[in-house]
Structure 1
Amino acid sequence: MANDIKYRCYNFSLDTVRYLKDKNWNSFSSIVAKQLMRSAMSIGANVVEAANSSSRTEFKRYYEIALKSGNETKYWICILRDGFEIKENELKLLLKECDEICRILASSILSLKKKN
């Protein structure tokens, strides 16, 4: 399971980068795009940090941070979708994958809390 979430986060980051790099952003929408890229990559970075943590508490904390980054990422995707009226299927797929990753992280966090 741990490798699955790392793999999904890595691919989600790559999909986000690929989606954003090919767009012709204006100065205002580029701010939102950069925020989206930062938060999307933060999810995977924190999951990788969790894998190298020295305690269960530290592991859980990194997952909590990854979940917060995931929620922030969903926010930025929705801002692009609604604020800039981008209705592309790719954006919908990014939102769906981010939501699924967040659900996995939340479930893992709950399991870790029950074990304490």
Structure 2
Amino acid sequence: MRNELIERTKQFGIDCWKFCFKVPKSREYNAFVNQLIRSSSSVGANYRASQRAKSTSDFIYKLKIVEEEVDESVHWLEVFEEILSEHSDEILKLQKEGKELLAITVASINTAKRNNLK
């Protein structure tokens, strides 16, 4: 599962980048594109960092960053869904993956917290 999540979180950033490449170039779109690329690429980098955590607290801290970044990515995808309806199929697939990664991350945080109390 660990290697699968490393790959999934990395692929999420790549897939968001590929979507952003298709977005029309303008000052208005570029602001949103930059935000989505930043947050989605951070998901994989921070998940990977969590796998090298030095303690349970460090692991939880790093996963909380993943949680924030994937949630922000889903937000920007929701914005794009409203303003670029011609790409809705691709956006909905990205949202689905983002929400799945978010759920997995939150579950991992909760499990780590429970295990840390024992």
Runs of 4+ displaced beyond 4 Å: none
Query: Counterpart in 2 of 1:35?
Result: 35
CA distance in 2, matches of 1:91, 1:52: 31
Percent of residue pairs identical? 24
CA-atom RMSD in angstroms:
1.1
Distance 1:85 1:24, change over 3 A: closer
Structure 2 unmatched runs, 5+: none
Superposition TM-score, scaled by structure 2 size? 0.92
Count of matched residue positions in the alignment of Structure 1 and Structure 2: 115
Q: Residues 101-112 of structure 1 correspond to what in structure 2 (within 5 A)? A: 101-112=101-112
How far apart are 1:19 and its partner, in Å?
A: 1.2
Query: Counterpart in 2 of 1:86?
Result: 85
CA distance in 2, matches of 1:113, 1:87: 42
How far apart are 1:108 and its partner, in Å?
A: 0.4
Residue range with higher mean Cα deviation, 14-23 or 41-50: 14-23
How far apart are 1:109 and its partner, in Å?
A: 0.5
CA deviation digits over 1:50-104, x for unaligned, max 9? Answer: 111111110111011100111111111111111x143421111000000000000
CA distance in 1, matches of 2:46, 2:5: 11
Give secondary structure in 2 for the equivalent of 1:90.
Answer: helix
Superposition TM-score, scaled by structure 1 size? 0.93
Alignment pair present for 1:53 and 2:53: yes
Alignment pair present for 1:99 and 2:99: yes
How far apart are 1:25 and its partner, in Å?
A: 2.6
CA distance in 1, matches of 2:18, 2:84: 19
CA distance in 1, matches of 2:99, 2:65: 15
